[in-house]
Amino acid sequence: MKVGVVGASGYSGEVLVKLLLGHPQVELAAVTSRSHAGKPLGAVIPSLRGADRGLTFVDSDVAALATSEIELFFLALPHGAAATYAKALVPAGKRVIDLSADFRIADLANYQKYYGAHQAPELLPHARFVLPELTPDAWKTEAKLVASPGCYPTSMLVPLAPLLKAGVISREHIVVNSYSGVSGAGKKVEEAYLYVERAESTKAYGLVKHRHLAEVEEQLALHTGAPVILQFNPHLAPMRRGIATTITVPAAAGATIEALYAAWRAQYAGRPFVQLLPTGETPDTAYVTGTNRIDMSAVFDPRTKNFVITSAEDNLVKGASGQAVQIMNLWCGFDETAGLI
Ligand SMILES: NC(=O)C1=CN([C@@H]2O[C@H](COP(=O)(O)OP(=O)(O)OC[C@H]3O[C@@H](n4cnc5c(N)ncnc54)[C@H](OP(=O)(O)O)[C@@H]3O)[C@@H](O)[C@H]2O)C=CC1
Ligand SMILES: CC(=O)N[C@@H](CCC(=O)OP(=O)(O)O)C(=O)O
């Protein structure tokens, strides 16, 4: 099957390209970028020098992509831009997996509250938000367009959704602190992301209403049947990639750590990309970088009666491109783990 990456010169695009070049069932047939059109892939992504299969960047010309032989496109574009591509590709019969936020939020008013005007609201009924370990299978036949979850949302939804559903944690007073590598901000030249600003320094940002709350709260309400409100505190950490998330939440009356792990095991038994670490052992971004895994664990604090839950993932793999490949695998009937570790 021929696939293409639109926006292949960005951070998530680069990781997608590498995963797809190593995928046993697909042929990477197009890599696009407006600013690098005409350049060999290995000249723009130096880690692929000599290994770029002769691919050359083409312009991100949506009309040409819509009439190409390519069956499935990954959109690794900023939100807003992604919708304008989907608007032409989906009616042309292409499958689209969008890494941006444009189709993650089913409720248009909720999208507009955080992102402003939507460029293709007519596609929303055909789009499905898919977090493979949580989303019921119906999406595989219903979707024309799949929204891959955000990086921070993956790090919270995977731990929280089964626990809220099982009633082992409180629905209130959920506090989430996340620490992201700087690649999470995309490949942009801004003072805030310069080496001198970010090296050996950590700071909170995006308080108190980060845009990812839109999809996290919508998904938690969907999975658990009632509204959930989170306090979300994102931080920029001095690392290239990775997200470490710590969630503090009151335990439900009588809930034990064993009940918490039982709820996780019930949801994730047999899922290759969710690893449960024993209570007392905490996940580390160093051990998930380059993998499609999310590692997580929890501990009960008898003093405060809180559970403290921690997760770690690579923002560019399970938080973006690896998860998008996992979605393609499930959508196209390939092995879920094809091309992924
Ligand atoms: N970085 C991360 O950790 C994560 C990112 N995402 C999402 O994935 C998407 C891509 O993110 P990321 O890789 O970080 O972004 P980057 O800024 O690193 O890359 C963006 C890519 O899109 C292209 N592009 C930029 N503007 C436009 C436009 N208006 N029209 C067409 N192409 C454009 C750029 O190439 P050129 O300008 O040459 O065309 C580049 O290839 C975003 O929606 C982001 O929110 C999701 C999860 C995690
Ligand atoms: C560190 C950093 O700046 N992170 C980005 C989120 C990462 C991202 O790309 O957002 P999506 O997952 O929605 O695509 C931010 O806070 O806006």
Q: Is 206 in the pocket of ligand 2 (CB under 6 A)?
A: yes
Q: Is 159 in the pocket of ligand 2 (CB under 6 A)?
A: no
Is 285 a domain residue? yes
pLDDT band of 336, cuts 50, 70, 90: very high
Closest ligand to 188 CA? 1
Same domain, 53 and 96: yes
Q: Is 9 in the pocket of ligand 1 (CB under 6 A)?
A: yes
Give me the percent of the chain exceeding a pLDDT of 70.
100
pLDDT given for residue 34 in this prediction = 98
Which atom of ligand 2 lies nearest, measured to the CA of 319?
12
**5, 6, 12, 190: residue to mutate for ligand 1 pocket, most atoms within 8 A of CB:** 12
pLDDT given for residue 7 in this prediction = 98
Question: Looking at residues 121-139, what average pLDDT do you find?
Answer: 98
Same domain, 272 and 184: yes
Distance, CA 177 to ligand 2 centroid (Å)?
A: 14
Same domain, 188 and 287: yes
pLDDT given for residue 128 in this prediction = 98
Same domain, 177 and 207: yes
Q: Is 10 in the pocket of ligand 1 (CB under 6 A)?
A: yes
pLDDT given for residue 221 in this prediction = 96
> Catalytic site residue 151?
yes
Question: Looking at residues 273-279, what average pLDDT do you find?
Answer: 98
pLDDT given for residue 66 in this prediction = 98
Distance, CA 149 to ligand 1 centroid (Å)?
A: 15
Same domain, 135 and 225: no
Same domain, 288 and 266: yes
pLDDT for 84-116, tens place per residue?
999 999 999 999 999 999 999 999 999 999 999
Q: Which residue has a Cα nearest atom 7 of ligand 1?
A: 100
Structural domain boundaries, residue 244: 152-315
Q: What domain count does the chain have?
A: 2
Is 29 a domain residue? yes
pLDDT band of 304, cuts 50, 70, 90: very high
Q: Is 290 in the pocket of ligand 1 (CB under 6 A)?
A: no
pLDDT for 164-185, tens place per residue?
999 999 999 999 999 999 999 9
pLDDT for 191-236, tens place per residue?
999 999 999 999 999 999 999 999 999 999 999 999 999 999 999 9
Same domain, 233 and 114: no
Is 232 a domain residue? yes
pLDDT given for residue 62 in this prediction = 98
Q: Is 240 in the pocket of ligand 1 (CB under 6 A)?
A: no
Q: Would you say 259 and 168 are in contact if contact means Cβ atoms under 8 Å apart?
A: yes
Distance, CA 184 to ligand 2 centroid (Å)?
A: 5
Q: Which residue has a Cα nearest atom 43 of ligand 1?
A: 100
pLDDT for 237-252, tens place per residue?
999 999 999 999 999 9
Question: β-strand 294-301 against 306-313: which pairing, if any?
Answer: antiparallel
Which atom of ligand 1 lies nearest, measured to the CA of 180?
3
In this prediction, the answer to ipTM > 0.90 reads yes
- The mean predicted confidence, pLDDT, of the chain is 97
Intra-chain end-to-end CA distance of the chain, in Å:
21
Closest ligand to 233 CA? 2
Same domain, 107 and 181: no
pLDDT for 253-263, tens place per residue?
999 999 999 99
pLDDT given for residue 100 in this prediction = 98
The CATH number covering residue 163 comes to 3.30.360.10
Amino acid at 51: A
pLDDT given for residue 162 in this prediction = 98
Distance, CA 23 to ligand 2 centroid (Å)?
A: 26
Is 50 a domain residue? yes
In the set 151, 176, 294, 316, the catalytic residue is 151
Question: Looking at residues 49-57, what average pLDDT do you find?
Answer: 96
Same domain, 118 and 156: no
Mark 269-303 as b/e (b = at least 16 C-beta within 10 Å).
eeeebbbbbebeebbebeebbebbbbbbbbbbeee
